[in-house]
Amino acid sequence: MLYNSNIIAFVGTGQNPKYPLNRLVFWDQSKSKEICNLTYNCYIISIKLKEDKIFVICEQKIYVHSFNDFKLVESIDTFKNTKGLFSVNTSADRTLIAFLEKNIGSIKIKNYNTNTGMSITTSKSAPAYFTLNNEGIILATSSERVIFILFYINFI
């Protein structure tokens, strides 16, 4: 659900899904109808929503759409991401995302407000989990061997 709105986004799952695993559906709960659907050439692993952007995470690509018109803003090639690892800060002041880079053990941070980015090498193996804090200035990561690492993101 998008914050406190009546918009719900979902993907088909399970044994006999009503919708295909590669289709993202936006539903207006107050009108009880579908308002848009987006279809991809890969299975959708995860989705994240902000007030102005939609992030669709597939195994080797991230699709970024504008929430106003559902148009594709960009697509990002990533490292093989079967767990759908991705993070976006929740603050309305700025939009930062963190995702797996093509190099194993590297996480890319992108700031959509300044169109800048940076890479962080976390370990020699792929991260098991990572998340940005609300403001997008701290990245917490863990791998199978290292429990917890914090990175201060200072390019913002």
Q: What is the CATH number of the domain that holds 15?
A: 2.40.10.480
End-of-domain residue from the set 77, 108, 125: 77
Q: Work out how many domains the chain is built from and give that number.
A: 2
Q: Are residues 58 and 93 in the same domain?
A: no
Q: Are residues 156 and 83 in the same domain?
A: yes
Could you tell me the pTM of the whole model? 0.88
Q: How far apart are CA 150 and CA 2, in angstroms?
A: 28
Q: Are residues 57 and 126 in the same domain?
A: no
- In 3-state terms the chain splits into helix, strand, coil percentages (rounded to 5) of 0, 50, 50
Q: Are residues 147 and 109 in the same domain?
A: yes
Q: Are residues 72 and 84 in the same domain?
A: no
Q: Are residues 83 and 148 in the same domain?
A: yes
pLDDT band at 47 (very low <50, low <70, confident <90, very high): very high
Average pLDDT over residues 83-105: 90
Q: What is the pLDDT of residue 148?
A: 63
Report whether pLDDT(63) > 90: yes
Report whether pLDDT(96) > 70: yes
Q: How far apart are CA 79 and CA 54, in angstroms?
A: 20
Q: Are residues 8 and 43 in the same domain?
A: yes
How would you label 11-35 residue by residue, b for 16+ Cβ within 10 Å and e otherwise? bbeeeeeeeeebbbbbbeeeeeeee
End-of-domain residue from the set 51, 77, 103: 77
Q: Are residues 31 and 91 in the same domain?
A: no
Average pLDDT over residues 65-83: 93
Q: Are residues 106 and 73 in the same domain?
A: no
Q: Are residues 94 and 72 in the same domain?
A: no
Domain encompassing residue 116:
78-156
Q: Are residues 69 and 98 in the same domain?
A: no
Q: How far apart are CA 138 and CA 134, in angstroms?
A: 9
Q: Are residues 53 and 91 in the same domain?
A: no
Q: Are 9 and 26 in contact (CB under 8 A)?
A: yes
Q: What is the pLDDT of residue 155?
A: 59
